[in-house]
Amino acid sequence: MPTALHRVVVTGMGVLSPIGNGLAEFEEGLYAGRSGTGPLTYFNPEGFSSRIAAQLPPLDMARWIDPKESDRMEPFVRYGVVASQMAVDMAGLDWGREDMTRVGVIVGSGIGGIAMLERQHEIYMQKGPRRISPLLIPMLIIDMASGMISMRFGAKGPNTAVVTACATGTHCIGEATRLIQRGDADVMLAGGTEAALTPLGFGGFCAMKALSTRNDDPAHASRPFDRDRDGFVMGEGAGVLVLESEGHARARGAEILGEVVGYGMSADAFHITQPAPEGEGAQRAMRAALADARIDPRDLDYINAHGTSTELNDKFETAAIKAVFGDHARRLMVSSTKSQTGPLLGAAGGVEAIATLLALARGVVPATINYQTPDPDCDLDYVPNTPREARISTALSNSFGFGGHNAVLAFRRYDGRG
């Protein structure tokens, strides 16, 4: 007989985002309708088609990481470590009471240490191969975020990293959930982190013509589902959850913030960057998450949409929602918090999972800001411009990445019942 799956609950959330660092600042920015987009200041953007970005507010990194240790981390690793520490602090975990072989980490990134690669390539070109840093490879590889987080806490359980572009953080949380469900771990730190606002990283997205060029009005540049959207705004940040089996969390008296009840994924098998027509792959991922959660589509309350502010994504995600939910799609609340944070690439799934959990716990759905002109192809209730009070008990968080990677998480407000 198959063993019953463990229920998986959330006990900690850590976030760095363009609208606030730390959960309190993020929540305040989310419900204030703050835009995190402004002029790009990390380098001179002259000559780039887009000159705006969703950068992090100032962060005292030395408060969180010893400067000597920080010097051996790329920014995406630092962000992941800080968000993990925030989540662990919130969860109130006492490592002295844990079997650390049953504590694991899955934190991924879409791009990883591109800044280190740029710096070291310049050194190679100017000074030759003997001057390349021996830290080049350890600092740029994507799995180093999970590695450094595990070293910080002494977590010796399952440890890996997922790389699926903008679906990364969602895949990480979903895979960590399955490990706990099967009994392979008691506690998992899971999410995503990204810091790719470099000339090469930013320039690559400009060359694809993927970015908004609303350079004279950055605060209104990210406008998912709006007819006048012209591309996404590149951002950075990190979002990490502490996941536990329900039994483990209750045994130690932890405050439970929500429950992960479903996970679905699929491949478009269609195009390197464009979504499949009518969101066919997204449909299958949403259906899989609903089936895994045993949620009737007619009972779902809210979707935190992928909603990138690009023409095809928003159109086909809307089509996918209508295909999955039928007439109920008109009653669903659907919003894109990327209107505030911009797409955060590998960090998006972690940050948006936190936004979804806040909506469930607080009973307030975050808005899609900058929604001004309806698009006939995007005709659902996008909670335009103003957060909405609503008692919601179930929600999906959608993430779709380049390469046709689709991942969806289903969350439920925790009530302690079976």
For residues 327 and 368, state if they share a domain. yes
Q: Whose CA is closest to 37, among 228, 317, 231?
A: 231
Do the domain assignments include residue 256?
Answer: no
Q: Whose CA is closest to 73, among 140, 150, 131?
A: 140
Q: Whose CA is closest to 412, among 10, 88, 5?
A: 10
Asked whether the beta carbons of 194 and 75 are under 8 A apart, the reply is no
Do the domain assignments include residue 396?
Answer: yes
For residues 240 and 267, state if they share a domain. no
84-119 tens-digit pLDDT:
999 999 999 999 999 999 999 999 999 999 999 999
Q: What percent of the chain has pLDDT over 70?
A: 99
For residues 194 and 134, state if they share a domain. yes
**How many domains, the chain?**
2
Rounded distance between C-alpha atoms, residue 317 and residue 209, angstroms: 20
Please give the full DSSP string across 119-183, using - where no structure is assigned. HHHHHHHHH-GGGS-TTHHHHH-TTHHHHHHHHHHT--S-EE----GGGHHHHHHHHHHHHHHTT
Asked if residue 417 has pLDDT above 70, the reply is no
For residues 164 and 222, state if they share a domain. yes
For residues 77 and 221, state if they share a domain. yes
Burial class from Cβ neighbours inside 10 Å (0-12, 13-18, 19+) for residue 220 reads middle
Do the domain assignments include residue 195?
Answer: yes
Rounded distance between C-alpha atoms, residue 365 and residue 31, angstroms: 9
For residues 215 and 280, state if they share a domain. no
Residue that finishes a domain, picked among 228, 251, 274:
251
Summary mean pLDDT of the chain? 97
CB atoms within 10 A of CB 94: 8
| Residue 1 banded pLDDT, cuts 50, 70, 90 | very low
What is the CA 59 to chain-centroid distance, rounded?
A: 19
For residues 204 and 325, state if they share a domain. no
Rounded distance between C-alpha atoms, residue 174 and residue 81, angstroms: 20
Asked if residue 418 has pLDDT above 80, the reply is no
Do the domain assignments include residue 379?
Answer: yes
Do the domain assignments include residue 181?
Answer: yes
The CATH number for 149's domain is: 3.40.47.10
Asked whether the beta carbons of 173 and 10 are under 8 A apart, the reply is no
264-283 tens-digit pLDDT:
999 999 999 999 999 999 99
For the residues 148-153, what does the mean pLDDT come to?
Answer: 98
| DSSP H/E element including 365 | strand 364-365
Asked if residue 413 has pLDDT above 50, the reply is yes
Asked if residue 172 has pLDDT above 90, the reply is yes
Asked if residue 416 has pLDDT above 90, the reply is no
Torsion of CA 343, 340, 412, 363, to 10 degrees: 180
Rounded distance between C-alpha atoms, residue 211 and residue 170, angstroms: 23
Range of the domain at 245: 8-251
| DSSP H/E element including 267 | strand 258-267
For residues 138 and 282, state if they share a domain. no
pTM: 0.98
296-346 tens-digit pLDDT:
999 999 999 999 999 999 999 999 999 999 999 999 999 999 999 999 999
| Residue 152 banded pLDDT, cuts 50, 70, 90 | very high
For residues 12 and 149, state if they share a domain. yes
CA atoms within 13 A on the CB side of 293: 31
| Residue 415 banded pLDDT, cuts 50, 70, 90 | confident
For the residues 285-290, what does the mean pLDDT come to?
Answer: 98
Contacts of 286 (CB under 8 A, 6+ apart): 264, 320, 321, 324, 396, 398, 408
For residues 196 and 133, state if they share a domain. yes
For residues 242 and 270, state if they share a domain. no
Helix, strand and coil in the chain, % to nearest 5:
40, 20, 40
Rounded distance between C-alpha atoms, residue 294 and residue 259, angstroms: 13
For the residues 376-382, what does the mean pLDDT come to?
Answer: 98
Rounded distance between C-alpha atoms, residue 370 and residue 351, angstroms: 20
